[in-house]
Amino acid sequence: MAGKKQTVEIIALQCTECKRRNYTTSKNRKTMQEKLELMKYCKWERKHTLHKETKVK
């Protein structure tokens, strides 16, 4: 199978405090080369925490 090189990647956003993966999103590797870090709501801790990009799977 010869496919085009995939530039959009599915990633998970992991809470840096409880280490749960609360969100999945996609990013374009060509335009977004640095790791994503976002303040997101963690439903387990019921507050906003820093979430960082991790691999899905």
Distance CA 17, CA 26 (A): 22
In which residue are the tokens 């060509």 written? 30
Shortest distance (Å) from residue 14 CB to Zn ion: 9
Residue whose CB is less far from Zn ion, 22 or 27: 22
Residue type, position 19, single letter? K
Shortest distance (Å) from residue 22 CB to Zn ion: 7
Shortest distance (Å) from residue 12 CB to Zn ion: 13
CA atoms within 13 A on the CB side of 42: 19
**What residue ranges bind Zn ion (CB under 5 A)?**
15, 17-18, 42, 44-45
